[in-house]
């Protein structure tokens, strides 16, 4: 598979899953646009590193995905957007009757509304190019719920609904729109939580990972950012041209329970 000549915009991609997806798309030959809301030298160095490693064009564009105008400006500044990956996301955990309204608004804005704005801005560019792929990063929480995650679960279910709607609106065009639903993924943030969990539960690493962190993941293994990236790259391949409006779970069996 080659994605040479395609440009991929990946929101929230200066760490974790977004960076893993950008890496796999670059490995497949796509030019990539990295994004987050910061503008640190390290952000631009990440893009330079991908360009050097994979021989593609890569750049970093600062845009805050909590702001509608910046979501749309990201796409126009990118200039091309053959592949759009909506990945930016945040989490907050609290009971619904104690959930801060500002946290609710921020999660809905970053995890759901940003995808509406970037898709709206990117579809005309995909139509002009005669090809397009939208990959939305939802979650196992786009298909199931957990207590204390009302905003996150609502936003991720909303992403699945948006995915289906955009797929139907583009069904007769060479454009697809799908969602990836990861279970627990081993990102640097998750890795950093393991020592605290070990201390809190008085367990060794393997036990705390199996019994606490991966309690709902039947495989008892984290998914990796490379596996999520590989799934995104597959959704951009010719083999996936008739896959649209669906969800692909990468969750070690979580949603089979
Ligand atoms: P992460 O915190 O490492 O990455 C989140 C990314 O979003 C970062 O690059 C961050 O800078 C960016 N971001 C946050 N707020 C932003 C804003 N206002 N504007 C632009 N960018 C912003 O976390 P991650 O685990 O890699 O999560 C990535 C996506 O995967 C999220 O949508 C998350 O909900 C989803 N997800 C993660 C897991 C998991 O286990 N890690 C599981 C299922 C789904």
Query: Average pLDDT over the chain, rounded to whole?
Result: 97
Instruction: Give the model confidence (pLDDT) of 12-38 as tens digits.
Output: 999 999 999 999 999 999 999 999 999
What tokens appear for 223 in the block?
């998914």
What is the mean pLDDT of the segment spanning 166-180? 98
C-alpha to C-alpha distances, 66 to 11, 103, 110, 249, nearest whole angstrom: 11, 11, 5, 26
Give the closest residue (by CA) to ligand 1 atom 10: 12
Task: Compute, in angstroms, the gap from residue 223 CA to the centroid of ligand 1.
Answer: 15
Residue 152: active-site member: yes
Confidence of residue 1 (pLDDT cuts 50, 70, 90): low
Give the closest residue (by CA) to ligand 1 atom 33: 89
Tell me the C-alpha distance between 132 and 167, whole Å. Answer: 11
Q: How many CA atoms lie within 13 A of 39 on its CB side?
A: 4
Instruction: Give the model confidence (pLDDT) of 44-70 as tens digits.
Output: 999 999 999 999 999 999 999 999 999
Q: What pLDDT is attached to residue 93? A: 93
Tell me the C-alpha distance between 24 and 29, whole Å. Answer: 9
Tell me the C-alpha distance between 157 and 146, whole Å. Answer: 12
Confidence of residue 148 (pLDDT cuts 50, 70, 90): very high
Q: Which atom of ligand 1 is nearest to the CA of 184?
A: 40
Tell me the C-alpha distance between 201 and 250, whole Å. Answer: 27
pLDDT at 175 exceeding the cut of 90? yes
What is the mean pLDDT of the segment spanning 91-106? 96
What is the mean pLDDT of the segment spanning 120-126? 98
Confidence of residue 8 (pLDDT cuts 50, 70, 90): very high
Confidence of residue 189 (pLDDT cuts 50, 70, 90): confident
What is the mean pLDDT of the segment spanning 197-212? 94
227 lines ligand 1 (CB under 6 A): no
Q: Which atom of ligand 1 is nearest to the CA of 138?
A: 44
Tell me the C-alpha distance between 166 and 11, whole Å. Answer: 18
137 lines ligand 1 (CB under 6 A): yes
Q: Which helix (H) or strand (E) holds 45?
A: helix 41-54
131 lines ligand 1 (CB under 6 A): no
Confidence of residue 133 (pLDDT cuts 50, 70, 90): very high
| Superfamily per CATH, domain 7-185+223-256 | NAD(P)-binding Rossmann-like Domain (3.40.50.720)
**Which residues share a beta bridge with 58?**
32
Give the closest residue (by CA) to ligand 1 atom 12: 12
Confidence of residue 179 (pLDDT cuts 50, 70, 90): very high
Q: Which atom of ligand 1 is nearest to the CA of 156?
A: 34
Going from N- to C-terminal start, the domains of the chain cover 7-185+223-256, 186-222
What is the mean pLDDT of the segment spanning 128-132? 98
- 97: CB partners within 8 A, 6+ apart: none
What tokens appear for 146 in the block?
């957990």
């Amino acid at each position: 598979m080659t994605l040479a000549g395609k440009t991929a915009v990946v929101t929230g991609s200066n760490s974790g899953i977004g960076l893993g997806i950008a890496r796999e798309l670059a490995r497949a030959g796509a030019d990539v646009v990295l994004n987050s809301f910061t503008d640190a030298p390290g952000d631009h160095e990440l893009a330079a590193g991908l360009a050097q490693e994979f021989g593609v064009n890569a750049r970093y564009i600062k845009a805050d995905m909590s702001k509608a105008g910046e979501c749309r400006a990201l796409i126009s500044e990118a200039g091309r957007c053959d592949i759009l990956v909506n990945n930016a996301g945040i989490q907050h955990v609290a009971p619904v009757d104690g959930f801060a309204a500002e946290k609710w608004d921020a999660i809905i804005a970053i995890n759901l509304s940003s995808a509406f704005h970037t898709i709206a801005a990117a579809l005309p560019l995909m139509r002009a190019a005669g090809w397009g792929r939208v990959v939305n990063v939802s979650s196992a929480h786009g298909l199931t719920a957990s207590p204390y995650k009302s905003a996150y679960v609502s936003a991720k279910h909303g992403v699945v609904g948006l995915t289906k709607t955009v797929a139907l609106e583009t069904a007769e065009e060479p454009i697809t729109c799908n969602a990836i639903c990861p279970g627990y993924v081993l990102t640097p943030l998750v890795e950093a939580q393991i020592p605290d969990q070990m201390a809190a539960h008085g367990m060794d690493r393997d036990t705390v990972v199996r019994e606490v962190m991966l309690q709902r993941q039947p495989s008892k293994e984290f998914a990796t950012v490379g596996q999520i990236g590989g799934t995104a790259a597959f959704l951009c391949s010719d083999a996936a041209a008739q896959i649209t409006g669906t969800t692909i779970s990468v969750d070690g069996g979580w949603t089979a329970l």
